[in-house]
Amino acid sequence: MIRKIIKIDESKCNGCGACAAACHEGAIEMIHGKARLTREDYCDGLGDCLPACPMGAITFEQREAPAYDEEAVRKAKMVKHGVKLPCGCPGTMTKAIKREENACTVSSVASPASSQLSQWPVQIKLVPIHAPYFDGAHLLVAADCTAYAYGSFHNDFIRGRITLIGCPKLDEGDYTEKLTRILTDNDIKSLTIVRMEVPCCGGIEMAAKRALQTSGKGIPWRVVTITTDGKCKD
């Protein structure tokens, strides 16, 4: 198709990289000290890179070029920066969390107050189906009230696991389909389900069990029930 797209004059380019940084779509790369349009289908033709160039090396032109592929750009951003939902909320950005020793900790044993969370986000509704931290993971699927009721939840359950939380009474929809995809598409080593003793919390247990059954994988699993007064029934 004929459309508007940027043109880079390499003879004018001084290699500063400002245009590549300004291109939110990742269409421009620095190669051998020069800016190049490496993905024409990533260029939306809006020209955010033009004012960033101090040398005036970038202009527009009308020519035959692939259509702007918004979906390909979105997937590339997922790989490079993590998953970002359409709402644009920073709280949905996927990341692994590396725990370092607290400078104030004198004991080799983690303090009960030390966070053991190793990834973000944690809400079942927000977590991506594919994330690097799922590879070889021991998965924890927990009702969100459990961490408040059980005092040593981080050390006893979150530590060493990838954590997904939800509330079947308050969240819309069912978790089964998403949990099935997570179990099916990733190398999950074990599944721990932690729920409250209240009847409505059975929804998260049932969803996780159905997901495991549907995945067809023989993953070791267990269910732990937390009482409303903070006791653990394995």
pLDDT at 87: 52
DSSP three-state, residue 171: coil
Q: Report the C-alpha gap between 110 and 115 in whole angstroms.
A: 9
pLDDT at 172: 79
Identify the burial level of 228 via C-beta atoms within 10 angstroms of its C-beta, where 0-12 means exposed, 13-18 middle and 19 or more buried: exposed
Token pair of 8 as six digits: 């880079």
Token pair of 111 as six digits: 């303090």
Question: Which 8-state DSSP code applies to residue 49?
Answer: T
Task: State phi, psi for 81 to the nearest 5 degrees.
Answer: -115, -5
pTM of the entire structure? 0.59
Q: Are 92 and 84 in contact (CB under 8 A)?
A: yes
pLDDT at 70: 86
Where residue 54 falls (left for φ over 0; alpha for ψ -120 to 50; beta otherwise) is alpha
Q: Are 227 and 149 in contact (CB under 8 A)?
A: yes
Q: Report the C-alpha gap between 94 and 123 in whole angstroms.
A: 11
| pLDDT in single tens digits along all 234 residues of the chain | 899 999 999 999 999 999 998 888 889 999 988 999 999 999 998 888 998 899 999 999 999 999 998 888 888 877 665 554 445 555 556 677 765 544 334 344 555 568 999 999 999 988 888 888 999 999 999 999 999 999 999 999 999 999 999 998 888 788 999 999 999 999 999 999 999 999 989 999 999 999 999 999 999 999 999 999 999 987
pLDDT at 168: 87
